Amino acid sequence: DADVTQTPRNRITKTGKRIMLECSQTKGHDRMYWYRQDPGLGLRLIYYSFDVKDINKGEISDGYSVSRQAQAKFSLSLESAIPNQTALYFCATGGGLGDEQFFGPGTRLTVL
């Protein structure tokens, strides 16, 4: 079984809809992250959490919110999706050397 799982893997939605992306991990790590990936822009950090009671904004948090329901679960919400939020979204956990991170397989989100 994968250490970091993301659901759904693919989602197509319409402008204005609320969307939740979920992430679960079995690595027992305290740190969890949400990134988006766009061609030519690399990975950009949306939100991160260093433990269940800690939530921090990343580089591009506007239009997004998160919830850390448990050590193992970290969900990302788009309150009112817009087309420029079309991207590949990755969840990651951290807890190894330095801040070594382990990534989920990604969710491809398309906002029409």
Partner 1 sequence: GEDVEQSLFLSVREGDSSVINCTYTDSSSTYLYWYKQEPGAGLQLLTYIFSNMDMKQDQRLTVLLNKKDKHLSLRIADTQTGDSAIYFCAESRGSGNTPLVFGKGTRLSVIA
Residues engaged in binding partner 1 (CB under 8 A)? 4, 33, 40-43, 45, 48, 50, 58, 90, 92, 94, 97-106
Q: Which residue has the tokens 């030519």?
A: 40
For the chain, the straight-line distance linking the first and the last C-alpha, in angstroms and rounded, comes to: 33
**CB nearer partner 1, residue 17 or residue 27:** 27
CA Rg, the chain, in Å? 13
Closest approach, Cβ 90 to partner 1, in A, equals 6
**CB nearer partner 1, residue 59 or residue 79:** 59
Closest approach, Cβ 39 to partner 1, in A, equals 10
Q: Which residue spans within 1-112 are E strands per DSSP?
A: 4-7, 10-13, 19-25, 31-38, 42-51, 54-57, 64-70, 73-78, 87-94, 101-103, 107-111
Are the CB atoms for 86 and 109 separated by under 8 Å?
yes
Closest approach, Cβ 81 to partner 1, in A, equals 22
**CB nearer partner 1, residue 17 or residue 22:** 22
Closest approach, Cβ 15 to partner 1, in A, equals 26
